[in-house]
Chain A
């Protein structure tokens, strides 16, 4: 059972940058064949309102993460050379090879002594990335930079009504330091590869190498369209999976940490959609103040950046001047799910930043 406890790592800063283009659901409703009634229903049940995506396909996840990381370095006067490790969690790397984290090491001016590696994960990626960072600190490193996020607009086909209206582009940077004041942090993680086909980009890997046929736009029974190079989501199966595993995971991590649900100040969940978040809030009997759920409505589902994105969007002021015990919980592609209990103690967490495209984005 993957349950881990640490007491020497601390989150010091969280910054999230979103794509530069705001798209209201009304503007793209015709892409999905939504009429006014459907739109109204989707707004109510799923929380569709608007999303932020990049305006130029040459802007990568790494651009958004670098923007976020530079904000941390500049605002906290952090010497980039003091970073011992850089972890990049994403499904939208700059290239198939090499690892984007290694390219970012150079672009951020980090030392060549830095460990840098990628983790290929989506909605549970923040928890896995944080775990890796805490493990490295526990093994003796002093300072780790975790970068998480995706340019989901790259892998969701514009007419896929099941996926595209949900997705937002974002990149977060999280600074984790060795802490002289012990903070107890707990992790539980799970994986179930039997459900891998329910969220998948079928073409482009070794199992199904890219061919020009993968560019063919296919129509499906439910009225959606996509290509084999695009992400497919079986919404019904993902819904069933979430309902099955997420509430249990809260019970599991609270028990592991010997805590009660009211010992937690904030429940910060992957922002899948409004229904899932409301369902969990009701089930745990937690009011919406303690379980923020507006990210998907305002910014879209930001994959691995949705938990840090929620902190920057809705708790920026509070976490900057208070100490809170929080639960993070991520769940999705793989299928994979995980949770972490830790503390946010007067961290640097400015409001969400909107990316400003610049020359050099294509490099």
Chain B
């Protein structure tokens, strides 16, 4: 799985979450969009669960995306969409 595949998954999950969240800043996101500050804690969980589910569908393996920094605004890997893609790619390369 390459960066483009991960990027596609990330944008698709954000779009799906935003159907309920209806956040204007997430209507046309770019890699520079500051994701974490646009999501409440439940939406962060939705995002993580959505990514984990999509990865499991593709790889038939559970790859844990949540970590002990998930909800920490200073150290979360989900600060921006770009950092999220890079982090997920590193997890897939490491655990997938």
Enumerate chain A interface residues (CB-CB to B < 8 A): 37-38, 40-42, 44-46, 222, 235-237, 239-241, 243-244, 275, 278-279, 282-283, 285
Chain A residues with Cβ below 8 Å from B70 are 239-240, 243
Enumerate chain B interface residues (CB-CB to A < 8 A): 20-22, 40-43, 45-46, 49, 52, 56, 62, 64, 66-72
Chain A residues with Cβ below 8 Å from B72 are 236-237, 240
Count CB-based A-B contacts (< 8 Å).
56
- On whether the beta carbons of B68 and A243 are closer than 8 Å, the reply is yes
- On whether the beta carbons of B22 and A235 are closer than 8 Å, the reply is no
Chain B residues with Cβ below 8 Å from A235 are 41, 71
- On whether the beta carbons of A37 and B22 are closer than 8 Å, the reply is yes
- On whether the beta carbons of B62 and A239 are closer than 8 Å, the reply is no
Chain A residues with Cβ below 8 Å from B64 are 279, 282-283
Chain A residues with Cβ below 8 Å from B62 are 282-283, 285
Chain A residues with Cβ below 8 Å from B67 are 243-244
**Most chain A CB inside 10 Å of its own CB: which residue of B21, B70, B71:** B71
Task: Return the contact of B68 from the options A46, A222, A241 (Cβ within 8 A).
Answer: A241
For the complex, would chain A's binding face be called helix, strand, loop or mixed by DSSP majority?
helix
- In angstroms, Cα B60 to Cα A285, docked, is 11
Chain A residues with Cβ below 8 Å from B45 are 45-46, 239, 275
- In angstroms, Cα B63 to Cα A255, docked, is 23
- On whether the beta carbons of A45 and B68 are closer than 8 Å, the reply is no
Task: State the 7 A-B residue pairs at the shortest beta-carbon distance, nearest first.
Answer: A236-B71, A244-B68, A282-B62, A37-B20, A240-B68, A45-B45, A239-B71
- On whether the beta carbons of A282 and B41 are closer than 8 Å, the reply is no
Q: A37-B21, A41-B46, A235-B41 are in contact. Are A282 and B52 (CB under 8 A)?
A: yes
